[in-house]
Structure 1
Amino acid sequence: MKKVAVITTGGTIASKHNKDGRLSSGEMTGEELNAVLHLPDNIDIHIYSFLQKPSMHITFSDLDAIRDKILSLFLDKALDGVVVTHGTDSLEESAFYFDLTIDDPRPIVVTGSQRSPEQLGSDAYINLRHAIYSACDEHLYNVGTVVVFNERVFSAKYVKKEHASNIQGFNSFGFGYLGIIDNDKLKLYQKPIKSEKHLPVKKRIPTVEIIKCYLGADDKFIRACLGEGVDGIILEGVGRGQVSPLMIDAIEEAVKKGVHVVITTATEEGEVYPSYDYRGSTYDLLRAGIILGKDYDSKKARIKLMALLRSEEEIGEEL
């Protein structure tokens, strides 16, 4: 018999309706979720009711605690894999953090739902069921943390929430999903050829902010970050990584003050690259000492930079 640990953290998948008919996210414990969803009985499932929060209430301290729990569970060599249930709003960020900071070949599967267990057509039951079957499948060994949602398996690095409410809530633009679950069977079609380098967690939690770039954007948000003493800034640029020229003086000032500034792109596919030479181009930013965010989106780049800063690993010209 396979053995899977399920860590519940709240979210819509653990929500209930309040007296006004609105959802109270993260109200159900792991034990209540188990009772409602009738999880597979041919797998030895161990439920750990860890948090009961909406996912936008989860902190980095919470992520560290979940990570520590996963690592302690993996001390059991008989354990085949771990499932983490999570609210969908920040699910992709948490999944990527686990991918970066947990070094174990066994699957870590993150899932959630767009509809509560009480709602008509809920995806809570099937997503959790599929996540459990995926967590004990040997084909997902050495793949890293994955997200299972709507019968699909996604790599944590590129998965994104693509819809606010539809049960097809997640996608991986340009890369596709790794496989599907059909009749409780995982069918894996592809695996990443390169894994993220696993980073140790050592230091305090750094402060890294995201600033979006757009037509006519100026330096007010960068200077606000400098006033708050942030450790890093992620710039969500356009195209190959361009920003408004009105931002450059403040960016140069930030770099001189030791703030780690990363340029990313708002596009769904492609990566930042110094193709152009003008004020506010990626080449101009490189000369100022910024870090290339490659093809990470801004939220994943923030998670990566925070993990790097905490690990005390050297940060080069690229994330």
Structure 2
Amino acid sequence: MEKKKIYVLACGGTIAGRAASADDLTGYAAGQTSIDELLEAVPKLADYADVQGEQFCNIDSSDMTEALWLSLANRVQEIADREDVDGIVITHGTDTMEETAYFLDLTVHTIKPVVLTGSMRPATAISADGPLNLLEAVQAASWTDLGKYGVAIVMNSTVHSARFVEKTDTTHVDTFKGRQMGCLGYMQDGRPRLYQQPLRKHTWSSDLAAPKELPAVAVVYAYVGLTADDVRHLAEGKAGLVLAGLGHGKMPEPVWQALQPLMEQGLVVVRAARALGGMVTQVPAYDGTVTADSLTPQKAKILLQLALAHTTDREKIQAIFDAY
């Protein structure tokens, strides 16, 4: 069987990190290894695919920016449109991997597999997890049907949907989880074994596109002591605001009173939750807000930005949240 042609875009992260000693798992510098070095460290890649690499950027993913997202989405789209590419792998730091994956899930329109991977231990560590993660990401991207599932993250032999996945642990390799939604499946014998498929719109079914610039949106975390002035300050100059709300997307009453005149002036407010699971849906008490369903606040921010690039109509934005 002819091997698939897989294009690897390197963005840095822990998988490209180096530390002073093999037992240092936290005091390393991310983004120190080039794409050529990453690929050379896993010679088994050649057994599964014809792999080509490109250094897109080489950063700690805590330094990821919206401008880089826009450039990355455009570059991934260019590569996906090539006839000589069957799948794409993106190496990336884990701190913001779930956000980058979801942004690409919404803005890259392709049926070809797009897989993000990285590591929790630097390349210099004892039992580094990067090489196996990279190998399994390439194996996954070589499986044509994976493209039907949208952008995926492959880490620790587990396949996750970009929409469902969250980083849940600061240092352990088993950090990415789908929580209540679960994972898509697992890597076994060199290929994905999948058990469920996302039903919300993504990649090939998405109508959203990466604009030239993303509208400004703030995320506000609700807590005891959050004041109306805090929210007014964070909302200043923003087109939208996502509330990581209490319980079912609730907020202190003074905060709600402060938000209503801002909403009348055009601020779009999305209610999400700081809870570890569940949905936020419409209630009469917060009429005029958009609800985030099961999206985390950070992913609700991304979807709101892309929605605002298309429309400022609240009902149309809610329809986008219901569809994606």
Please report the RMSD computed on the Cα atoms of aligned residues, expressed in angstroms: 1.8
Distance 1:73 1:163 in 2: 32
The answer as to whether partners of 1:203 and 1:311 remain within 8 angstroms in 2 is: no
Q: Deviations over 1:191-239 (max 9, x none)?
A: 1233233302234221111111123422132111233x11111001122
Sequence identity percentage: 27
On the 8 A contact 2:235/2:241 being kept in 1, the answer is no
Instruction: Tell me which residue corresponds to 1:226.
Output: 235
Match for residue 207 of structure 1 among 216, 226, 242:
216
Task: Tell me the amino acid that sits aligned with residue 300 of structure 1.
Answer: K
Deviation at 1:314, TM superposition (A): 4.8
Verify: 1:169 aligned to 2:175, yes or no. yes
Question: Which of residues 67, 77, 87 in structure 2 aligns to 1:71?
Answer: 77
Contact 1:99 1:198 in 2 (8 A): no
Pick closer, same or farther for the CA change 1:179–1:261 going to 2, 3 Å. same
Q: 1:226 to 1:191 in 2, by over 3 A?
A: closer
Equivalent residue for 1:254?
262
Q: After alignment, is 187-196 or 260-269 more displaced? A: 187-196
Q: Identify which of 112, 116, 120 aligns with 2:118.
A: 112
Greater percentage in helix: 2
Q: 1:71 to 1:149 in 2, by over 3 A?
A: same
- Distance in 2 (alpha carbons) for counterparts of 1:39 and 1:114: 21
Distance 2:270 2:178 in 1: 22
Q: Which residue of 1 aligns with 2:189?
A: 183
1:23 corresponds, among 16, 21, 28, to: 28
Q: Which consecutive segments of 4 or more residues in structure 1 shift more than 3 A?
A: 311-315
Greater shift in the superposed pair: 212-221 or 180-189: 212-221
Kindly state the Cα deviation for residue 130 of structure 1 after the two structures are TM-superposed. Answer: 0.6
Which segment is superposed worse, 21-30 or 107-116?
21-30
SS in 2 for 1:116: coil
Question: Letter of the aligned partner of 2:231 in structure 1?
Answer: I
How many angstroms does 1:182 deviate by? 1.4
TM-fit CA distance, 1:313: 7.4
> Which residues of 2 match residues 264-283 of structure 1 at below 5 A?
264-274=272-282, 282-283=283-284
**Aligned positions, number:** 309
* Local SS of the residue matching 1:24: coil
> What is the Cα deviation at residue 90 of structure 1?
0.4
**Residue equivalent to 1:6:** 8
Residue 298 of structure 2 aligns with which residue? Answer: 299
Structure 1 range deviating more: 122-131 or 199-208: 199-208
Residue pairs, 1:233-244, within 5 angstroms: 233-244=241-252
Alignment of structure 1 residues 50-61 onto 2, 5 Å:
50-61=56-67
Q: Which moved more, 1:159-168 or 1:245-254?
A: 245-254
- 1:285 equivalent in structure 2: 286
Q: Which runs of 5+ in 2 are unaligned?
A: none
| Aligned partner letter, 1:5 | Y
* Alpha-carbon distance in 1 for matches of 2:177, 2:194: 16
SS of 2:285's equivalent in the other structure is helix
**SS at 2:102 equivalent:** helix
Contact kept, 8 Å, 1:143 with 1:195, in 2: the verdict is no
TM-score with structure 2 setting the length = 0.90
TM-score normalised by the chain length of structure 1: 0.92
The answer to which of 186-195 and 113-122 deviates more is 186-195
Matched, 1:198 2:207: yes
Counterpart CA distance in 2 for 1:315 and 1:80 is 39
- Whole-Å separation in 1 of the counterparts to 2:44 and 2:36: 11
Match runs of 1:139-178 below 5 Å: 139-178=145-184
The aligned residue for residue 277 of structure 1 is none
Query: CA offsets per residue over residues 87-121 of structure 1, 9 Å max, x none?
Result: 00000000000000011111110111000111011
Superposed displacement of residue 78, structure 1: 3.2
